[in-house]
Amino acid sequence: MVKLHTMALVGLNLRDSAAIYSRVEVDKQQIENLKVVCQHYFTANCLLLSGVSPSVWTIGYAIPYHTRQLFEKLGFGLGLNSMQGREAKHVKLAKYVENTCNVKKSMRWWIVFRHEFVCLLWLREMDPFSVSYLQEKRKVCESYIPKRVKDKDNRFCYCGQPKASPNDSGCTICTSNWMHLVKQSVVTGKVNSELKQLLS
């Protein structure tokens, strides 16, 4: 039961972190939230699951660090540097460099990155039919968080599971004693004494 509840908490933290680090536009509060959520993800894996892999470490430490660094330097989030299709992106950039032969060598990369900015950000912002960059969408940071969680009828828990009744604070999993002990251990960074007894 401990492993099941820990995996549920890890999944929730992973979803919340992806909702922030995949964004182009972030603010300081979101970056602070990202650090906390990623740290909880790392701690839960380290304390209560099989341990730390390079992927877990990357999400726990590297992603919050690089997101903060990118925000401080450029004012944007880590979504600006998409990791998907990296090889294809490098090939595309190499083609841009080849096509900028009519400018000075010192200006070549400036032209290439201006072109990238226009293609990836500016055109999407100006396009009224772009789903990901509509004005009302840009204000919502939890793109990976299901809409039903935010509904006013309050029928679903924050994890996405249905509540027994709208007056409940959460679903049966999130409000269980097991989950409370797991969360407490993750926040403090130490396995709770009650949880140790249950694990042994």
CB environment 160-177: b (16+ within 10 A), e (fewer): eeebeeeeeebbeebeee
pLDDT one-digit tens code per residue, 92-128: 666 666 666 666 767 766 777 777 777 766 776 666 5
pLDDT one-digit tens code per residue, 151-168: 777 888 888 888 888 788
Share of the chain above pLDDT 70, in %: 73
The residues spanned by each domain of the chain are 1-81+169-200, 82-145
What value does the mean pLDDT of the chain take? 78
The arithmetic mean of pLDDT across residues 143-156, rounded, is 78
Q: Residue type at 156?
A: F
75 DSSP assignment: S
- In terms of pLDDT, which residue wins out, 1 or 199? 1
Task: Report the range out of 3-12, 74-83, 157-166 with the highest average pLDDT.
Answer: 3-12
**21 confidence band (pLDDT: 50, 70, 90):** confident
Backbone angles phi, psi at 162, to 5 degrees: -70, 145
Report pLDDT for 135.
Answer: 45
Residue 15 is encoded by which pair of tokens?
């979803």
- The total of other beta-carbon atoms located within 10 Å of residue 110's CB is 12
- In terms of pLDDT, which residue wins out, 60 or 74? 60
> Of 75-79, 96-100, 129-133, which gets the smallest average pLDDT?
129-133
Residue 83 is encoded by which pair of tokens?
């990791």
131 contact partners, CB below 8 Å, separation of at least 6: 137
3-state class (DSSP) for residue 89: helix
Report pLDDT for 128.
Answer: 53
Q: What is the Cα–Cα distance from 29 to 17, expressed in whole angstroms?
A: 13
3-state class (DSSP) for residue 156: strand
Task: Report the range out of 18-27, 64-73, 89-98 with the highest average pLDDT.
Answer: 64-73
- In terms of pLDDT, which residue wins out, 173 or 123? 173
**171 confidence band (pLDDT: 50, 70, 90):** confident
- The total of other beta-carbon atoms located within 10 Å of residue 151's CB is 10
